[in-house]
Amino acid sequence: MELLQTGHLLRNKSVAIVGGGPGGLTLARLLQLKGIQVKVYERDVSKEVRVQGAIVDLHFDSGLRVIAAAGLMDAFKASYMPGADKFRLVDKDGNMLLDEHAKEGNPDFGDPHFRPEIDRGALRNILLDALMPGTVVWNSQLTAMEQVGDAWQLSFNNGTAAVADVVIGADGYRSKVRPYVTNIKALYSGATIIQGEIEEPEKECPEMYTLLQQGNLIAMGAGKSIAAQPRGDGGLTFYASSLYPENWVSTSGIDFNNSEEVYAWLESYYQGWSPVFLSLFKACTRFVPRPLNYFPLDQYWNAQPNITLIGDAAHLMPPSGEGVNTAMLDAWDVCECLTDGKYTDIPAAIAAYEQQMRARAVVLGKEALDSIKDFAAPSEESVQAMIQQLGAG
């Protein structure tokens, strides 16, 4: 890796990034390109320990822009999933309402409307492979932090500790770093998704596999929806969404560790839907309920001298296709603020970054909150509006 030694604010400083997701790994790559000493502390035991989830689309002016700035566009092009960005919208009976697979012409790299999909694990591997050996310290779940002089001492559940001049929390909305920055808590959006994984959909739910056509699919009925995506390993991820009371997961009486019990409940809740969608539930052996929370759009805190947040740790919002893209853009912005020479010291650079980050998050968060009801509990009007919007695009 070619290192650019400059006289920026982080010269001779050490940076600890807590969390080895796309945001944290992107930031580590960008900092290393500037010659900065950085470590990423990740709770996973190794990069192979778990499936990273479904696919994610990167956007022209955020994720793809940062991938290019990190010098990883060739690696991305070699790993993305052509055609997986195609979208189908169907009703509860499986009738096709919108089919991008039938459109003529395919956007490509360089087109602002092109949003190529990549498996989360493949994206993670691209970023990991670009880092210096030993950058990621695995099996390191943060348990506590303590200020020691002008630095931070980090303690981990494996009994080890580390010291860093600057700490950046990239560890999601359950962030262990966030409480050292702000005590603002998350709020419930009103929607909950029940996520499921199917390892061999071609065999276990063949009709659904065919309907998906290795792209994105959303089935919408009155008050509920089902979304499905392929995984890069040939598996499938689905999300059954609706509006539920707060704490519904704990008060519903459903044992979500019992797949047969969850299936029976979903079969009843989606009564009247096409059997092709019920086959998704039948094929799934592990369900995970996920209440969709968000941090208040007007959240504000006074910038700390040498600690900040990126991604969901900073500005959790309901799923809108912007999460990974925004985390990567946060990584770019905080790196630039700390290294572009515009600011006199690290506290000023962090304050400038957080102002940019929060201003962007307010806009994207509002869009996500405004659309969550239409996604999780659609009406006939909202479905027609989506058809018009996506059809026009």
Q: How far apart are CA 280 and CA 352, in angstroms?
A: 47
Binding residues for FAD: 57, 120, 312
Q: How far apart are CA 374 and CA 224, in angstroms?
A: 9
What is this structure's pTM? Answer: 0.93
Domains and CATH numbers, the chain: 14-81+119-185+296-374 (3.50.50.60), 188-294 (3.30.9.30)
With bands split at pLDDT 50, 70 and 90, how would you rate the model's confidence at 51? low
| H/E segment holding residue 77 | helix 73-79
Q: What pLDDT, on a 0 to 100 scale, did the predictor assign at position 318?
A: 86
Min mean pLDDT across 99-108, 175-184, 205-214 is at: 99-108
pLDDT value at 1 more than 60: no
For 125-160, give one letter per residue: b (16+ CB within 10 A) or e.
Answer: bbbbebbeeebbbeebebeebeeeeebbebebeeee
pLDDT value at 337 more than 90: yes
Q: What pLDDT, on a 0 to 100 scale, did the predictor assign at position 389?
A: 66
Q: pLDDT tens digits for 84-107?
A: 888 899 999 999 999 988 777 778
Q: How far apart are CA 159 and CA 210, in angstroms?
A: 49
pLDDT value at 6 more than 80: no
pLDDT value at 223 more than 50: yes
Average the pLDDT over 174-196 and give the result: 96
Binding residues: 50, 57, 120, 312
Binding residues for NADPH: 50
Q: What percent of the chain has pLDDT over 90?
A: 77
Q: What pLDDT, on a 0 to 100 scale, did the predictor assign at position 106?
A: 78
Q: Which runs of E-coded beta strand occur in 29-123?
A: 37-41, 55-57, 87-91, 96-99, 117-119
Q: pLDDT tens digits for 117-140?
A: 999 999 999 999 999 999 999 999
